[in-house]
Amino acid sequence: MDGEILNTAENTNADELASTHKACGLRRRDMMRDFVWPGICAAGLSAFGASSALAQAASRPKNVDRGFNPMTWLNRGRDSFEVVYEASTGVVAARTRDFSIRAPDGNLCQSRIAYPVTVFDRMPLIIFCPDAGCKGAMYDPFIGALAASGYFVIALDDPRAVSLKANDGATLVANAPELRRPSPAEARFLIDMASEAAQVLGPRANRVDSSRVGVAGHGEGAWMALSLAGWGSSNSEGATARDGRVLAAFVLSPSPLEDNARIVNGVPDGGALALLAGQQGTLPPALPGSGLIALNLPIRTGNFGGLIGNPSVNRKSGPRPVLEPKPLAAAVAAASIFFDWGLKRQSDRKRTLLGLDGRVVDGLSQPLRLNRA
């Protein structure tokens, strides 16, 4: 019965439509000629006049689709260090989220994700290794500013970092050395699971490029980052943790080496590109000819007065340390340029980076100093 009613309704609609066309003096072929044919002609002319560049863009796979980044256009011709330095001293255009996932060994890998507010292009992946007893969220000023430069950053939590409540209700993070130490295996696992972490981007999750991986670290975590890049102490075998997917490593204020030890690369491929940044006179030496790059920053403390890492480290004795946002912004700018060179393959960034030696930066007490072993 329903089918009969539907057919009757369709016939009625068809009769009404035919009557309407007849009343207006229109026939089906007239409609096709008046509307369809001009559309076909227009489409043909558009295709004929389209450039090969547009044709290539139309055939490009979706997973490498790139959007128009207005900041790239606005900052064209400007010094790349200056652009990132200025952006890092203001409100950073990045978002952060907590992320956790269970590893095959049963341990829960907890981390902090940072990514740009607006995702335009494909983003290389950076894994950040924190100092002893620190959570990834303690590095939001650094990983957020780095992410705003076009990177997807995953900062690990140190399993020894334990949250405690102070008498005034504030949450403090303490180092519990009896708990398990972080392992390079966790960093490698997070590289494997980058696609899971990227789901925070929604429909743009495929813009995280896990084929271009960098590592970064601070304090004790700097050595874990370096080991993933094929570097280590001459008195240890840390370089055996080398992950071949890591193309570049940037570390801040690595913890001191034992006497007479040097940084070496102990892997057949010579290790990934590596840049150390920290207070002058505190950076560990490298073997001559190793190619390691060192950037001396005019800073008073290794955690920039408590802006990154655990701020309580500097408050055990003496007055409250002075925050150092300008030197931290300079470190972010140097890291961004370095990763642009090592991960995005922007060759001009190498010249900019090596040109930082002796550069006077507004807001810094001394010029930057850079050398290469």
The CATH number of the structural domain formed by 67-372 is: 3.40.50.1820
User: Residue 289: its pLDDT value, please?
Assistant: 81
pTM of the model: 0.77
Q: Which two tokens stand for residue 37?
A: 């044919």
Q: What is the pLDDT of residue 170?
A: 54
Q: Read off the pLDDT band of 47 (50, 70, 90).
A: very low
Give the separation between CA 167 and CA 161, rounded to whole angstroms. Answer: 19
Tokens of 102: 């269970």
Q: What is the C-alpha separation between 367 and 153, in angstroms, rounded? A: 29
Classify 371 as helix, strand or coil.
Answer: strand
Copy the structure tokens of residue 219: 């304090």
Q: Give the lowest-confidence range in 122-136, 253-267, 286-300.
A: 253-267
pLDDT over 70 (residue 353) = yes
Residues 92-107 have pLDDT tens digits of: 899 999 999 999 988 8
Q: What pLDDT was estimated at residue 362?
A: 94
- pLDDT at site 105: 87
Average the pLDDT over each of 165-169, 193-197, 237-241 and give the range with the smallest value: 165-169
Structure tokens at 341: 């060179």
Q: Say which range, 118-132, 186-200, 253-267, 288-302, has the weakest mean pLDDT.
A: 253-267
Mean pLDDT of the chain: 80
* Radius of gyration of the chain, Cα coordinates, nearest whole angstrom: 28
* Mean pLDDT in residue range 115-137: 95
- Please give the average per-residue pLDDT across 256-274, as a whole number: 83
Q: Comparing 31-35, 304-308, 334-338, which segment has the lowest mean pLDDT?
A: 31-35
> Running DSSP on this structure, what letter comes out for residue 86?
H
The span from the CA of 373 to the CA of 359, in Å, is 19
- With the C-alpha atoms ordered 255, 257, 259, 263, is the resulting torsion angle positive or negative? negative
Reference 183, options 227, 141, 232, 219; nearest CA is 227
